[in-house]
Structure formats: structure tokens, C-alpha cells
Amino acid sequence: MAARSNLATRLLSALVGIPAILALLYLGPPWGWALFLAVALLVGAIEFFGMTHPEDAVSRYLGIGVTLGVMAVLWLFGTDARVLVTLVFLLPTIALFITLARLGSIETAALRAAAMGFGPLWLGGGLGSLAMLRRDGGDSGPGFVVLALALSWFSDTGAYFAGRFLGKHKLYEAVSPKKTIEGAVGGLVAAVVGALAGHYLYLKSLPLNHAIVLGLVAGALGQAGDLAESMIKRSAGVKDSGGIVPGHGGILDRVDALMVTGTFTYIYVLFFWPRP
């Protein structure tokens, strides 16, 4: 009964959220989509640093600010390699200095410093790539964002149903006890179906062979992103990153795979997409 109630809540959330997202993507300006993602990023950063720095409000605020700064730098200077290299080089140093200034328990200082350097790049880069995908993909930009969303959502849904009805063998019990190998295979198949739907329905500029490969690669890596976020939550001793999305947990619980599929879809557009 609880599983049915949770599924119904998920479907209701999707019915409300999907049309609004599509309207913003196709009818709104690129900066409007970026602003929407910045709000999601703010909530995600609050959740992340709430897990990694639960007893240090100042560090949480600093981490949130650095995370938003990463997305701003990517949006403003994402095509300037010098700025990107500077960002990657500076982040670890900034993380170390913040941790030195807010030392707290010396036993956890190294982990907190690592989280302060990793979190902003993971979150800001993951959601920032979706903003740049909409802007830099030209007329196909909205379609590529929908493709990234579909790769994540199809994979998640396929894994859920395949795992529920067919799952027998644990995938990675130490990280996510409920995930199964059968669920992972179902999610991968569903991701390829989502990529094929993109090719045939709304993204004609995506070649068929590219769609299949992107579905396989991004679908598999998206599931790995889901596992990675589960690892962070279990390490922090929490079940959900938050409770803002009815039936889904926190923002990070919803975008863990999407940040990976969005990133790799954007990399595909930059390096492999045969522009019309």
C-alpha cells in the first residue's frame, strides 16, 4: 500500500512538473531556464552542505555561495578555456582555506575540505551544463535538454519497474540495498528507448546511431550518478537529501542521475554532434 501511495505521489508530481518545465524550455528565454536551474541549485546546495557540514552554518553558507558562483562562471565564461582551468585549479585551494578557517573537529577536516571542493563543481557543473545545453544547442537546445531529462527519467522508471517485478540479484548492496542488476539492465534499456524517442519525435538533428550510443553511455553513467548520491547519503547517515519534492525526497534525490546525463549530453553536443 505504501509503495502504491508513493508511486501515485510521484506520478502526480510529474504531471504537474513536466508541462511547466516544457513550457519554460520551449517558450521561455535561455536565461529564464538558467534562473530556474539556479533556484534548484540553491536548494541542492543547501541539501548537500547540510549533509557534509551539519554543525557549521558558516561553512554551509560559504559552500552554497561557492556552488552558485561555479554556475555563474560557467554561464558567463563557459567557452573560455582559461577561465575554466582557473576555476578547476582554484576550487581545491578555496576549499582548503575555508576548512582551515572553520576547522572544527580535526578528525573530519579532510573530508569536509574534500566535500567543499567537490560539491560546488559536482552541483554547479551538473546543473550548469543543463543551462548551457539550452543556450548553446541553438534551435535544438530545448530538444537536447529534454533528451537529457528523458535519459534520466526513462532510466529511473525502467530501473524501478524492472527491479520491482524482476529484481533478484543485488547490484551494490553496500551503497543502495534495494537496487538490483535486473533493475539496472531495465533502466539501461529504457534509456535507449528514451534516446530513440528523441531521435524520432522531437530531435531530428540527432543521428540514430548517435542516439543509441548516447542512450547506452549516458544511461549507464546516470545510474552510476544515482549510486554515487546514495553513497553520499549513507555516509552522512540520511535516507533522503531533503523533502521538497513530494514522493521523491530532496532535489538531489531527483537530479543525481540528471546531472550526469546532462553533463554528458552537453559534452556530446560540444564534441560529437553533427550540427545541421
Q: What is the pLDDT of residues 13-60, one digit of tens each?
A: 566 678 889 999 999 999 999 999 999 999 999 999 999 999 999 999
Q: How far is CA 8 from the centre of its chain?
A: 23
pLDDT in tens, 174-224: 999 999 999 999 999 999 999 999 999 999 999 999 999 999 999 999 999
Q: What is the pTM (predicted TM-score) of this model?
A: 0.91
Measured CA to CA, the distance from residue 120 to residue 79 in angstroms comes to 19
Q: Tens digit of pLDDT for each residue in 57-69?
A: 999 999 999 999 9
d(CA 92, CA 88): 8
For the chain, the first-to-last Cα distance in angstroms comes to: 50
Q: Which percentage of the chain shows pLDDT scores above 90?
A: 83
Cα 3 from chain centroid (whole Å) = 24
pLDDT recorded at residue 259: 96
- The pLDDT score that the predictor gives to residue 81 is 93
| pLDDT the model gives residue 209 | 97
Point out the least confidently predicted range of 12-26, 94-108, 157-171, 229-243: 12-26
pLDDT higher than 60, residue 243: yes
pLDDT at 172 over 90: yes
22 in Cβ contact with 202 (< 8 Å): no
- Given a contact cutoff of 8 angstroms between Cβ atoms, the answer to whether 154 and 223 are in contact is no
Confidence of residue 2 (pLDDT cuts 50, 70, 90): very low
